[in-house]
Structure 1
Amino acid sequence: MTIWNKLKEFFEDEEAEFVFKDEWVAYMENNLPLYRKLPDILRLELQRKIGQFVRTTFFEGCNGLELDDEMILTVAAQACILALKQEGPPFPQLKTVLLYPTAFTSIAETAGPGGTVIEREVKCLGESWENGTVILAWDSVRNGARNIFDGHNVTFHEFAHQLDSLDGDTDGVPLLPDEAAYQTWANVLAEHCEVLFDEIRRGKKSLLDPYGATNPGEYFAVATETFFEKPRQLKKKQPGLYEELQNFYKLDPASWF
């Protein structure tokens, strides 16, 4: 029986669903400094979400990586921080998480002359597919989790894409409650996208990773990384963007630090 199946069996036991082993808590405390900063009530909610996540998500190690509890729980905990206050089970369209030991090779397509498509191999730390698959490099997952102040977290980034794609498109606009919320979202993100573009044009250091200027989907993912890892700076420098993300995630990470 695989490690994933053993964890899955444990979480399927209703009596054990909300009881975390001490060693699992230790993994999260060691690997996720952000977990230690959560209020107690959110820690308990996170454990519940992790149980739901592991029950419904297939994990597989690739390129010889042998999965263990630490790997699965480190990925699941970070993913579920994003879904702490989302209604229903976390990431309902997610099916599979593939873990590589380190950066993996992927095929990138770009438009060439005359409408041709050019394919090239690129090294990736993470990918999110709209068919319900997330691919991650374990060393980047671990390092990103342990450093909660650099604004870079590949797990937050890729699972933000999963939230974004719940409506069928990874376009920087996740599911929102009503038309007014969509309009506000569009206005706020357009305004703050322009801030990032302007900083890049002027060669000025930006709070958000410049990769966010690639397209709206990447902007949302990068903004999510900043929201959870540099919340106080984001709230001070771009309060409108912070408030919009706070409304979406229903969390206030600035208060955790």
Structure 2
Amino acid sequence: MDFAVFVAVALCGLLLAFWLGSEPLRRAWRRHGIRRAPFPAAWRDILRRRVPYFQRLPADLQLQLKRHIQVFLAEKPIIGCDGLVVTEEMRVTIAAQACLLLLGRRSDYFPNLRQILVYPGAFVVRRHVTDDIGLQQDRREVLAGESWSQGQVILSWDDTLAGAADPADGRNVVIHEFAHQLDQEKGEATGAPLLPRRADYTRWARVMGTAFALLQAQAAVGAPSLLDHYGATNPAEFFAVASETFFERAPELAREQPELFDTLRQYYCVNPLSW
């Protein structure tokens, strides 16, 4: 091979390798540009009308949330289902609640998430389940939201609006499903999302396991509890329900279960008690 051709081929190979290997750098640069763009005035109006908790955030977190919203909406398609036409109001309302989980944390914006599907109201899914004696059944479930490890979040718009409207009722379908997305970054949801250090999992398992067992005991006898009894279904649902409670009923959670509150505070890197 001619030396000049060899050099040209080698150079092309190096450039290709650099281009492929620099994707994280190019993504970071692209996101930097998105965050620097002015936040649309119409989006600010939507936040004021549809997302009451936005006004409670400190100024630095408001700014951080707006920048996260810009990146989220630039990268995550939101698709209407069952005849629903997705509007800017829907997009911003969903993004604001999802990005609440990113405040204060180093995040890659739910890296496994490819799209958000939105139905007008509660939607029906059919599942094949096996009962206690091994028989398979086709079961219909009516849901307000669902998170799939394959890269989709499904939401009811009616429930999304209701969750945003009352930021202190402990029920927020967007927070719930996007907590599942955090849990699913490592694969199937287990109730233990990715933590900074291996040693953190020991405390996480102890604190979350104790609180989960308490909720299961309360649910078994129908006793009232701060956390929704749905969290007693399994550890993954417990983490999602606990996340809703952490963001929406922080004072009660800190008072009733301080160790659970502190564990979630360390994971989410924010303190809702200061809002």
TM-score normalised to the size of structure 2? 0.85
Separation in 2 of the partners of 1:13 and 1:22?
20
Distance between the aligned counterparts of 1:241 and 1:20, measured in 2? Answer: 35
Q: What residue identity is the alignment partner of 2:237?
A: E
Distance in 2 between the 1:190 and 1:140 partners? 29
Q: What does 1:72-221 correspond to in 2, within 5 Å?
A: 72-112=91-131, 114-221=133-240
Give the % identical residues.
41
Worse-matched range after superposition: 167-176 or 102-111: 102-111
Paired residue type of 1:154: V
How far 1:17 moved relative to its partner?
4.2
AA aligned opposite 1:172: G
Which residue is equivalent to 2:74?
A: 55
Displacement, 1:46? 0.7
Instruction: Report the CA distance shift for 1:108/1:26 in structure 2 as closer, same or farther (over 3 A).
Output: same
Report the Cα offset of residue 224 of structure 1. Answer: 0.3
Bigger mean CA deviation after superposition, 100-109 or 194-203:
194-203
Given candidates 13, 34, 49, the residue that maps to 2:53 is 34
Task: Kindly provide the amino acid, as one letter, of the partner of residue 169 in structure 1.
Answer: E
Q: TM-score, normalised by structure 1?
A: 0.91
Distance 2:102 2:69 in 1: 10
Q: Relative to structure 1, is the Cα distance of residues 20 and 236 closer, same or farther in structure 2, using a 3 angstrom cutoff? A: same
Aligned residues: 246
User: What 5-or-longer segments of structure 2 have no aligned partner?
Assistant: 1-29
How far is 1:16 from its partner?
7.2
1-structure distance, mates of 2:97, 2:42: 17
Distance in 2 (CA, whole Å) between partners of 1:17 and 1:110 is 49
Quick one: which of 262, 270, 274 aligns to 1:243? 262
What letter is aligned with 1:170? A
| Residue-by-residue CA offset, 1:105-143 (whole Å, 9 max, x unaligned) | 111332125533322122111010001100000010011
On the 8 A contact 1:18/1:47 being kept in 2, the answer is: no
Distance 1:41 1:169, change over 3 A: same
- For 1:140, give the aligned amino acid: D
Question: Over aligned residue pairs, what C-alpha RMSD do you find?
Answer: 1.7
Greater Cα shift, 134-143 or 88-97: 88-97
Which secondary structure does the structure 2 equivalent of 1:98 belong to? Answer: strand
**Cα distance in 1 for residues equivalent to 2:133 and 2:260:** 39
Per-residue deviation, 1:12: 7.7
The CA distance in 2 between the partners of 1:27 and 1:180, in whole Å, is 42
Q: Does 1:252 align with 2:252?
A: no
Give the partner amino acid of 1:212: G
